[in-house]
A and B are shown apart, each in its own frame.
Chain A
Amino acid sequence: MAENVPANALPASLLEAVGLTKRFGALLANDHVSLAIRAGETHALLGENGAGKSTLVKMMCGLLQPDSGELLYDGAPIVFPDPATSRARGVGVVFQHFALFDALTVVENVALGLAGHEPLATLAARIEDCVHRYGLSVEPYRRVGELSVGERQRVEIVRCLLGNPRVLILDEPTSVLTPDESESLFRTVDLLTGEGRAVLFISHKLDEVRRLCHRATVLRGGKFIAEVDPKTETASSLARLMVGAEVPRTPRSVTHALGEPRLLVNKLNVAGDGSRGSALHDIHLEIRAGEIVGIAGVAGNGQTTLFEALSGEKPVVDQEAIIIDKVAAGGLGPTERRALKAGFVPEERLGHAAAPDMRLSDNVLLTTHGDGEIVRLGIIRRSALLARFQEIVKRFDVRFGGKDPKARRLSGGNLQKFVIGREVLREPVLIVVDQPTWGVDAAAAAFIRTTLRQKAAEGCAVLVISQDLDELLEFTDRIAVMSEGRLTAPVPVAETSREAIGLAMGGAQAAGEGTHAA
């Protein structure tokens, strides 16, 4: 609809940012960025990580205050001193990280976010009404701890919608969803704009943006680059705007002979700790030198437990259940497994892969202290450490402000490049990566995939756990699907399809929900 509207008859802008500028120390996060979100439109915000999208969103909802520039609401200047004010004025935000209490039910969680005291039964009826109207499929009396990530996101959306917002901001909403769940989210978004609401849709997935959005604003390096009509653009022309150069596509599977098995997982069982989907049941997996195996699945189906069992953080009783490069490693700790030339990259960058409040150079030590080069006889060789640090920064193009900042000050994409680079330079024979490109911009993601591809070509075995099916289809050799703590046998990518895997993910999940309901 909107693309047919002539430029001189634009729908009224509801929320408009005019020349917003925000500086953090030496970093100019937003440099005179302007953006108008119009009634009845879905507006995409595109940009690499570190392009300033989060900063812009935070200023638009009152979490941050701009250094200069102003916000217009309904055409009149407005200041949001905090998110509560913006919410009261009709700007709702669904962030990437949910703020829900696992132990409470959906309706209790929603009640906590509302001002005033509304009886739960009335509220539940309002939730049902909202759910029905927008096809959101949320059961008010289920406990949030039992819900899948997609369902939790719908709870957040419902919570937002109950405040009857005129502007809804969705921060990378599809990154945690199965293809099916994404589709139903798009239908909801279409219904919302159909009612004259405005949606700001932040995403990395260019195909989605083209399919869903009426207008797209592209940011790069904190600057406004262009406002385009995504429907007339191609995915690669959008990517070019975001990156400022041609995005390299990961070279498709280099043909080379596979070598010895580097990782053998044999009847791996891990007891759950009570929370949803954390136990592992009878996992079998073989990865040989030179291949990349992907594990697809919706978050919370045991992937984190599998990663921790492989990295040695979670104890495994059976010594033979995990064999790394022909050595039974079940009972070994992380350092001993790294000594077998295995490298691990966890999903959570801050707090797990890196210590947020320690300097980046000190974070190099996290996985390299047992290699005998940087630490000798228990003493840290600062010069060797700094040399390795600089090598990682240089070869993996890690960008940051200052000389050696704390890890928490890096953008997601740069920290991920650092964390991957830290492992790659250890020259491992096995790399296990959980969510290699989660929240990472297109250029960095391509770089990371190419790096892993290249390691495989050099004879490294690579295991990639990811919720991004497109990514797995793009650069892995075989794909297995994880659901409810079980792993299917890996299938060569050439012999499977997006639909088949999506079905396995979704089907298994539906079966799982069946058991919950019972």
Chain B
Amino acid sequence: MPLRLERQENVSGLRLALAPLLALVFTLIVGAIMFVVLGHDPIRAFGIYFVGPLLDPYTLQELVVKAGPLLMIGTGLAFCYRANRWNIGAEGQYVAGAVVGSWLALVTHGTDAGPWVLPAMLVMGALGGALWGLIPAFLRVRFGSSEILTSLMLVYVAQLGLDYLVRGPWKDPDGFNFPQSVTFDANAVMPLLMDEGRLHGGIILALVAVVVATFVLGRTLVGYSIEIGGSAPRAAAFAGFDERRVTYGVFAVSGALAGLAGIIEVAGPIGNLQPSISPGYGFTAIIAAMLGRLHPVGIVVASLVLALTYIGGEAAQISMRLPFDVTRVFQGTLLIAILAADVMVRYRVRRVEGTSHA
């Protein structure tokens, strides 16, 4: 007997708000099953994974360090997704920003160029990410190609480009042939916010981005044009908003924020350019954006939750010898659960007898 999804007209705000919580619960249930299958006590595993990190001041700081890039990228993605433009390539824009910003750090290396280097790196990182993001926007506007595919494929281009640079021209000559650049000078690294730990200025920039994005999306004509372009394209054209400009705009913003997150990470906790500069922030931020209901404030909360899966994953690697892939499973399950919860809230499943075409 075939099943059919029917859109429900009257969906209360409460149910929409509950959907992410439902998704979290579902993810935890799947996680428990996974731990049992792997032969671990799920209670203990959850303790190590999700509770332990919250009890230690150092890991609490790490939580914020990890949440910073997620919420910065996720906030940018909210622009795209609200406009119904599916930028899946934030990871590539993150790498592109890191590379372009790092270039300045490398050419000024050892020259004692002055305090302008770090701000200039951040600007260049944002520009690099924006330009990388504008490629799928251009391909979509000009040729109608799916931005989902092009933005995703550009991730691999960016990653391989970075790989080439740190193994080739940008390799540290005194680095014992390790594939990495020189360590950045003091004027090219993010200032730390506390004496101990790795908490750096990036989180402040990320929160500024959240505040600005909340204002732009909620209170300005630009935010309105993004919203209506995603919700009713024909009405948006009637209102006089140019679909192409919106497409370029949202890709530029989300690319810039991803690029900024990239250069901040390189100039912050990492300190030089290396082949792997991201534990998949660009992809995890997609989950943060969806889990946070495409609202910057929601994305802050979602980013903290997802950062916890990173930190917990590291703890589990150490104390339970679980592979890091467990974190990936958590994140993936969470994304599927949030998407499914959305469908379940907005639609209802009905059985249909026979087939109907009317």
Contacts and interface: CB of A to CB of B under 8 A. Distances in A.
A130 interface: no
B231 A378 contact: no
A344 B356 contact: no
Nearest to B235: A355
A97 B263 CA distance: 54
Contacts of B354: 84, 115
A366 B224 CA distance: 9
A455 B227 CA distance: 33
A365 B225 CA distance: 10
A381 to B, nearest CB: 9
Query: Of residues B221, B224, B227, B235, which shows the largest number of chain A Cβ atoms within 10 Å of its Cβ?
Result: B235
A99 B239 contact: no
Contact of B232 (A84, A336, A351): A351
B356 A353 contact: no
B352 A355 contact: no
A346 B358 contact: no
B239 to A, nearest CB: 5
Nearest to A112: B357
A365 B352 CA distance: 41
A9 B307 CA distance: 78
A81 B353 contact: yes
Contacts, number: 95
A346 B238 contact: yes
B238 A334 contact: yes
Nearest to A84: B356
Interface string B327-358: 00000000000000000000000001111111
Given A81-B353, A365-B224, A378-B221, A352 B234 contact: yes
Contacts of B9: 24, 408-409
B238 A344 contact: yes
B357 A113 contact: yes
A165 interface: no
Contacts of B321: none
B220 A355 contact: no
B219 A354 contact: no
A85 B222 CA distance: 49
Interface in B213-236: 219-222, 224, 227-228, 231-232, 234-236
Interface string A161-191: 0000000000000000000000000000000
A336 B239 CA distance: 11
A379 B220 contact: yes
Interface stretch (A238-246, A367-375, A457-465): A367-375
B228 to A, nearest CB: 5
Contacts of B357: 99, 112-113
B356 A83 contact: yes
A335 B224 CA distance: 15
B228 A355 contact: yes
15 contacts: A24-B9, A82-B352, A99-B357, A112-B357, A113-B357, A336-B240, A355-B232, A356-B232, A357-B232, A358-B232, A367-B239, A375-B221, A379-B221, A380-B220, A380-B221
